[in-house]
Chains A and B, each alone.
Chain A
Amino acid sequence: MKKTALALAAAAALLASPSFGADKVKIGFVTTVTTPAGVIGRDMVDAVNLAMKDIGGMMGGLEVELIIEDDGFKPEIGKQKTDKLVKQDDVHFVAGFIWSHVLLASRKSALDGGKFLISSNAGPSQIAGKLCHENFFSTSWQNDQTPMAMGEVLNQRGVKSLYVMAPNYAAGKNMVSGVERTFKGEILGKDMTKWGKDAQLDFSAELAKAKASGADGIFVFYPGKAGGAFIKQYQQAGLQGEIALYTVFTVDSIALPNLQKAGMSGVLGSLNTQFWGPDLDTPQNKKFVSGFKEAYGRYPSFYAAQSYDTIFLIKSAVEAVGGNMDDMDGMRAAMMKADFPSVRGPFRYGNNHFPIQNFYLRQVVEDADGVWTTTVVDTVLKDHQDVYAAECKM
């Protein structure tokens, strides 16, 4: 009898222990680790690990547990992994998400589960507008903003006609609508190519069309390794000097090493727009870029920068409530202030919890060590807010 009672008491204690307040901050991080896009996921995971090291693995006196999940570049897997993080691991924050279509598929699982959802990259128009939510935050941008900045650059440079290419998925469509929104010239042709795990990487037919269109410039959005493939074929087709190249999220520190190795010097001097750059002069960015280069021997990408910011945003929330992880309202209020050292410098959040921030023009150059990178040459948009914020009732 006594034994049974003891056993019951022990069982009760075991069962009860998880509800003794949180003794840990649990962060689930969904990204792409496998498939060719795994190269992006590696940059993000490396940046998160670096951030964890820089904060000593602690937030507000609590230990931080990080759980990385692989979405396999597929919306349905991303949703499954989010479900697992919410139901099985019972995390406090679900973060990460490279891909807009994966984020859109996973969004409901995290938010309905009462968790904070933080996008470290994807910024689909839906979530900035009608589907905005009090527990969603972005440490990146809304998809349309960066191409809108590029549209302004094209106008400033007197580009009269444009050929547009992007992958056929949620973000690709946003990128195209973004540049169309600000570019005042004529769009002579547009190709939306197959995307996903079996994305189209050979653009011979599209490049031939672009050339025949006689446009002044070509605007492309090809993230990850598709970017490198595109630039190579652009140069091999002899389009350099015939149709000027303008990109968003295509020429980054993921594509550049392989382009340099392949001798694709045509990319040097090409222009792109971005909210950040490795040489952006802020204290946090200096610490981040030098720490990243020291730890991993390469330049961080913007994906890495946003992931690094994600950890510091979460830290600001946990510290504001003194580690009381049940205080969702307190953490939300803290995050809305954007009161953390961001690699992009100070910024504020809009009503839809997307950053209101600057967008810069960047150019591909060779650094002092002979490594190809990008450098900020101009500020195109100052304190820019996305256009979908008006549709968000918050």
Chain B
Amino acid sequence: MDAGLVAAQLLNGLQLGVLLFLLASGLTLIFGIMDFVNLAHGSLYMVGAYFCATLTDATGSFLLAVALALPATALVGAAVELLVVRRLYRRDHLDHVLATFGLILCFDALVQIIWGPEGMAIRLPAWADGQQHLPGGLVFPTYRLLIIGAGLAVAAGLYVLVVKTKLGMRIRAGASNPAMAGALGIDIGLLFTLVFALGAVMAGLAGMMIAPITEASIGMGNEIIITAFVVVIVGGIGSIRGAFVAALLIGLIDTMGRSFLDMGLKLVIDVQAAETSAPALSAMLIYILMAAVLAFRPQGLFPPKAR
């Protein structure tokens, strides 16, 4: 096996991992703090991508479009919280799932009405569209390196926000014991709206970052949201640190599985069988990991303290 290929696949895995983290961090905060199951988190990812694509067309600049699309996505997130989600906190998880599944259908239909079924491409600026020559003769797409950099920067920013700021203290208090936090004078309603909007921004950012690679398309969030839920469960519900570690772990496992599983299988079973079973098996790997975590450490790898 060639070392350059392994290094390239590690970077690919890392890129998928940071993308998953952006989605899962919002999901785990909303799940951990509001005890709310938000299947429609992927719709905010889609909305972010479409906003960014539309604004890139309008302004001609991808970076400016991202800067404008982030607050726009936050507003959509806040509106969803105020109009729909707020009414559901007291209901049980099944109602959350039903209501947010309905939201997915609404968002998908709305996008089809507004933007049509054909999806939207985003043109990258020339400086982001090429490849970088890394040490060791490795050539890697510039844009994917940018995703890794931006994702890690956001993770660091989130860490500072949650651990070092007053708002972060409130978020952590809300996650540990919302009733007590409310009794101590924290405006829980406002906090919930803020957290939901924050989650929406991060999901939207993930959508904006992937759109130049795969295009903005209807239902684009519905696949990745499942993987993001796996990240949340593996990492520990409500834990941002857990989400970070689990996202990178799952990004790497998924990419490595897709890359090397067929080679490995060909050593033990015949080529034909390896070729047909490898894709199915590599798609299963992350769920096997989740099952193992649920069996041996049901609270997740890094459960938040003082639950």
Contact = CB atoms under 8 A, between A and B. Distances in A.
A212 B4 contact: yes
Interface in B10-29: 12-13, 15-16
A254 B143 CA distance: 25
Interface string B171-212: 000000000000000000000000000000000000000101
Contact of B279 (A192, A237, A261): A192
A35 B221 CA distance: 11
B223 interface: yes
Interface string B108-132: 1000100001111111100001110
Interface residues of B, number: 48
Contact of A236 (B4, B9, B213, B219): B213
B143 A236 contact: yes
B5 interface: yes
User: Is the contact region of chain B dominated by helix, strand, or loop, or is it mixed?
Assistant: helix
Contacts of B112: 34, 38
Interface stretch (A109-117, A133-141, A198-206, A283-291): A198-206
Contacts of A39: 117-119
B229 to A, nearest CB: 13
Interface residues of A, number: 42
B255 interface: yes
Contact of B5 (A198, A212, A233): A212
A52 to B, nearest CB: 21
B12 A212 contact: no
B121 A38 contact: no
B112 to A, nearest CB: 7
B117 A259 contact: no
Given A204-B16, A205-B258, A237 B141 contact: yes
B106 interface: no
Contacts of A206: 258
Contacts of A202: 16, 210, 213-214
Interface of A: 33-36, 38-39, 41-42, 168, 190-194, 197-199, 201-202, 204-206, 208-209, 211-212, 225, 228-229, 232-233, 235-238, 254, 257-259, 261-263
A-B pairs with lowest CB-CB distance, top 7? A198-B223, A38-B117, A238-B131, A262-B121, A258-B121, A36-B217, A204-B12
Given A201-B220, A209-B5, A262-B121, 19 more contacts: A39-B117, A42-B117, A190-B275, A191-B262, A191-B279, A194-B279, A205-B12, A205-B259, A212-B2, A233-B141, A233-B213, A236-B143, A238-B139, A258-B118, A258-B215, A259-B121, A262-B122, A262-B123, A263-B129
